């Protein structure tokens, strides 16, 4: 009997692992089969849970609304009953035009700042450094709102019949409720293959559906109906110049005029299809009215005339209205079922690559499924429901699939979702943690395609950044600073040096290029895209480094992002030299380009010789008198020891220059630093700390940081919170920033699998007492390896590995290790003792 049971578990493990592989290559899996496979893998224990966000009523705030997206187009769905609102986003709707990101006066200011730093007048250097600051970024906007008004009978809906949900396995949002004997339902999804947002609205009684639909926008716009085609077309324009940074909230921004023709032009079109017997008519040339239909299907397209970051909108040849009309015409041949099937196949090909099931300890096995996701978040502190961890992990993958696809813009500070013309921090990509964190999980989370927009964006930054480097700093190569926008801004931000003066944004981004290679082993990518980006960045760094008085190379001026220190004269300052983060990023980039040169046969290049010579002259990471990692080159007094940024720990994560195995003293100092910093902080800080603790193989503290994110934020009193989740599981700074949604998925991945191109660590930070049983399938590891792991009672049971190329690796689990060689076309299954027990052909 034991042999049969063991065979059943092994066979089912292989079956499910193979299904992940099939999904990577072919697309949709049967959801029924998926559920049965989940159960089988847990020895009959039913851990299958729907991956759904659920809501007990219509949205009261934007952070209650459901986000959908196809990478380029997005919407947040409020789920009202008598009226429904969709905030419509398109990722190129921005203020501004291409600009000059250079400052010819910067060299003179730079020389003075460096002089002041050399004589240790750090406070004065900080004041002088403001002359190096630039202009603010431009601002992410929104197309506008799609509004649906239902007849007055809907106000009498039965409240306990109301349901609203987002199904992560299908990327479909649903709203349903009853009015008397009639059940009404709405379904929404954003199709990537067809580049439209699709909605189906229907009632259970024939002829019961009537509503009006219209567009609105806070931007300059005009809409008109085309009754013959059952369409509404809205045209609009963005501001060619952003609103003032400190515009008072009491001022109605929509009343501030702007030139309609100089900024980006956009359009959106809505087409309505109805059942036989239903009718569509125009109301006042602005609205469409649907009467007595069984069902209606809405198709929405949106576009702008953005033609890249170097083309003035007035010079663009794109016609957004024509593009929208053509897009709608291209889907005429598809029924709603066709559109849904095409959407599902495209989405699940990515989403289904990874699954995670966790079971809790006996103390939390009696968790009751709450009525809504918000209630589950609220109760997490007492029941620590592992299913909620699964949900938030997969939500991070869902959101990146929905906001970043090949050919789109990068996922910005809010992904693609926005309801304001003045969003927090302009909705702009911030390069001192936030944009990078957005993509941390794309590789281990097995959705590498979603990272492509980042490299396209970096290529644009490299063009503008070359001019900034040359004019501002007299340096070769390219540079980018702390904040950017759709126009690939590379100059410093406006304002104080503590945030604006940070020329390491492009360098940090370049580490993603090497990471992409290590996970995919895509030599062609490295040759054509990754290496040229690293090459330009390295050239700048070599020129930016100057010889210090101690003989080491130094960065001067230098800041630690957004963090002040107390100078020796007792004055507050932010500018000094060789901050720990500066040097850690430079070490990482230098190591990356040397490794890349070895792959591409460029080790004899002059640039590589300069890098190798410079590596030995970079200062060491230092430990302060209290045992923590020094944040600056000197052991300055820190007036804010609980500061949100942990920039000086970059070398541990996401970097690789500090490791538990190779630099235990520094790892111990990192631990002291994290304890000193404390556990409180905004969402992105919380998830970064979780990943750092995971890299230290400290499961207890990694899990503690995981639990910190499960704090339900009241959007009307969000100033009272640090981090947390809104009811739609958007992560809070507060306000909403999407980076922690992505950082959470990355941190959980780090707890389960860590790797280099030579080593694979299994369950390095598993909180065995909290997640004693579980299975993860389809995570990616460096070396191009796909990993699935099963554990029970906190112990490894078995795991499977496969790769598309020959891979030699060292597998590590709880201090024991074993060498393994993987061959393409085969799944290798190992037992708890790291012995290969089976190989199966794919």
pLDDT of residue 369: 54
pLDDT of residue 260: 78
Note the residue count of the chain. Answer: 842
Angstrom CA distances, 282 to 456, 553, 810, stand at 43, 70, 68
Distance from the Cα of residue 385 to its chain's centroid: 24
Query: In the block, which residue shows the tokens 């200062």?
Result: 619
Residue 49, by phi and psi: left (phi above 0), alpha (psi -120 to 50) or beta? beta
| Averaged pLDDT in 10-residue chunks for the chain of 842 residues | 40 48 38 36 47 97 98 98 98 98 98 98 98 97 98 93 98 97 98 98 97 97 96 97 84 81 96 97 96 98 98 98 98 98 98 94 49 94 96 98 98 98 97 98 98 98 98 98 98 97 98 98 98 98 96 97 97 98 98 98 98 98 97 96 97 98 97 97 97 98 97 95 96 97 98 97 98 98 98 98 95 96 96 97 87
Cβ-proximal residues to 214 (8 Å cutoff; 6+ apart), any chain:
146, 147, 223, 232, 286, 287, 288
Cβ-proximal residues to 657 (8 Å cutoff; 6+ apart), any chain:
584, 587, 588, 591, 621, 651, 663
* Tokens standing for residue 393: 């992990």
Residues 53, 169: contact at Cβ < 8 Å? no
Residues 772, 795: contact at Cβ < 8 Å? no
User: Would you call 52 exposed, middle or buried from its count of C-beta atoms within 10 A (0-12, 13-18, 19+)?
Assistant: middle
Distance (Å, whole) CA 489 – CA 477: 16
> How many other CB atoms are there within 10 angstroms of residue 424's CB atom?
15
Of 837, 826, 794, 790, the C-alpha closest to 16 is: 790
Show the beta-strand stretches assigned E in 332-463. Answer: 355-359
Distance (Å, whole) CA 502 – CA 490: 11
Distance (Å, whole) CA 434 – CA 419: 20
pTM: 0.94
Of 482, 484, 479, 454, the C-alpha closest to 468 is: 479
Diameter of the chain by CA atoms? 85
User: Would you call 389 exposed, middle or buried from its count of C-beta atoms within 10 A (0-12, 13-18, 19+)?
Assistant: buried
Residue 144, by phi and psi: left (phi above 0), alpha (psi -120 to 50) or beta? left
Of 141, 637, 181, 124, the C-alpha closest to 409 is: 141
Q: Distance between the two ends of the chain, CA-based, in angstroms?
A: 29
Report the half-sphere exposure of 400 (CA within 13 A, side-chain side). 34
> How many other CB atoms are there within 10 angstroms of residue 577's CB atom?
23
């Amino acid at each position: 009997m034991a042999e049969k049971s063991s065979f059943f578990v092994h066979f089912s493990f292989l079956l499910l692992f193979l299904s992940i592989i099939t999904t990577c290559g072919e697309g949709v899996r049967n959801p029924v089969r998926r559920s049965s496979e989940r159960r089988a893998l847990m020895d009959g224990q039913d851990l299958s849970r729907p991956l759904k966000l659920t809501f007990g009523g219509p949205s009261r705030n934007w952070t209650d609304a459901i986000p959908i997206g196809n990478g380029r187009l997005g919407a947040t769905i409020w789920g009202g009953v008598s009226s429904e609102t969709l905030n419509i986003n398109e990722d190129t709707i921005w203020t501004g035009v291409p600009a000059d990101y250079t400052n010819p006066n910067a060299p003179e200011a730079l020389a003075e700042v460096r002089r002041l730093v050399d004589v240790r007048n750090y406070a004065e250097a900080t004041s002088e450094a403001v002359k190096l600051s630039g202009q603010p970024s431009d601002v992410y906007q929104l197309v506008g709102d799609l509004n649906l008004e239902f007849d007055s009978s809907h106000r009498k809906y039965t409240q306990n019949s109301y349901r609203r949900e987002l199904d992560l396995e299908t990327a479909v949002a649903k709203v349903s409720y009853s009015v008397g004997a009639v059940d009404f339902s709405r379904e929404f999804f954003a199709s990537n293959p067809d580049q439209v947002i699709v909605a189906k609205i229907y009632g259970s009684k024939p002829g019961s559906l009537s509503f009006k639909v219209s567009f609105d926008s806070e931007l300059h716009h005009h809409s008109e109906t085309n009754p013959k085609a059952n369409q509404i077309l809205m045209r609009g324009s963005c501001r060619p110049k952003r609103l003032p940074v400190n515009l008072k909230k009491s001022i109605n921004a929509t009343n501030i005029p702007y030139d309609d023709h100089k900024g980006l032009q956009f359009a959106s079109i809505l087409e309505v299809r109805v059942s036989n017997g239903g009718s569509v008519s125009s109301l006042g040339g602005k609205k469409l009215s649907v009467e007595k239909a069984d069902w209606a299907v809405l198709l929405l397209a949106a576009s702008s005339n953005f033609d890249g970051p170097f083309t003035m909108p007035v010079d663009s040849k794109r016609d957004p209205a024509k593009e929208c009309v053509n897009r709608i015409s291209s889907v005429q041949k598809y029924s709603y079922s066709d559109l849904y099937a095409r959407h599902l196949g495209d989405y699940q090909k990515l989403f289904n690559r990874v699954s995670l099931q966790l079971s809790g300890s006996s103390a939390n096995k009696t968790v009751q499924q709450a009525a809504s996701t918000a209630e589950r978040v609220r109760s997490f502190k007492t029941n620590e429901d592992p299913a909620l961890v699964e949900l938030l992990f997969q939500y991070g993958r869902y959101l990146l699939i929905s906001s970043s696809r090949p050919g789109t813009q990068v996922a910005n500070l809010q992904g693609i979702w926005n309801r304001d013309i003045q969003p927090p921090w302009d909705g702009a990509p911030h390069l001192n943690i936030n944009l990078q964190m957005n993509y941390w999980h794309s590789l281990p989370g097995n959705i590498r395609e979603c990272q492509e927009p980042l490299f396209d964006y970096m290529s644009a930054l490299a063009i503008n950044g070359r001019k900034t480097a040359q004019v501002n700093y007299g340096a070769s190569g390219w540079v980018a600073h702390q904040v950017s926008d759709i126009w690939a801004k590379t100059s410093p931000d406006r304002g104080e040096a503590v945030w604006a003066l940070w020329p390491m944004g492009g360098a940090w981004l370049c580490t993603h290029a090497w990471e992409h290679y290590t996970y995919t082993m895509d030599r062609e990518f490295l040759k054509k895209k990754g290496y040229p980006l690293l090459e330009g960045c390295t050239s700048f760094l070599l020129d930016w480094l100057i010889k210090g008085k101690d003989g080491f190379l130094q960065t001067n001026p230098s800041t630690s992002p957004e963090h002040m220190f107390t100078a020796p004269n007792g004055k507050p300052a932010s500018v000094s030299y060789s901050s720990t983060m500066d040097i850690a990023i430079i070490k990482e980039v230098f190591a990356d380009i040397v490794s890349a040169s070895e792959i591409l046969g460029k080790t004899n290049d002059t640039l590589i010789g300069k890098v190798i010579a410079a590596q030995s002259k970079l200062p060491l990471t230092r430990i302060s008198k209290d045992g923590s990692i020094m944040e600056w080159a000197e052991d300055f007094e820190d007036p804010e020891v609980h500061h949100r940024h942990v920039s000086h720990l970059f070398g541990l994560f996401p970097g690789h220059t500090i490791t538990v195995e190779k630099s235990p003293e520094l790892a111990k100092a990192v631990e002291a630093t994290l304890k000193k910093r404390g556990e409180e902080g905004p969402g992105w800080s919380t998830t970064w700390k979780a990943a750092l603790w995971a890299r230290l193989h400290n499961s207890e503290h990694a899990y503690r940081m995981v639990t910190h994110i499960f704090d339900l934020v009241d959007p009307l009193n969000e100033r009272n919170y640090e981090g947390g989740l809104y009811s739609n599981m958007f992560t809070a700074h507060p306000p909403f920033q999407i980076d922690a949604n992505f950082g959470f998925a990355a941190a959980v991945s780090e707890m389960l699998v860590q790797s280099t191109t030579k080593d694979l660590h299994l369950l390095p930070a598993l909180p065995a007492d909290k997640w004693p049983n579980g299975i993860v399938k389809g995570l990616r590891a460096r070396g191009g390896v796909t990993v699935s792991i099963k554990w029970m009672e906190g112990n490894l049971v078995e795991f499977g590995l496969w790769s598309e190329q020959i891979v030699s690796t060292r597998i590590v689990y709880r201090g024991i290790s074993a060498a393994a060689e993987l061959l393409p076309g085969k799944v290798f299954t190992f037992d708890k003792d790291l012995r290969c027990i089976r190989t199966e052909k794919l």
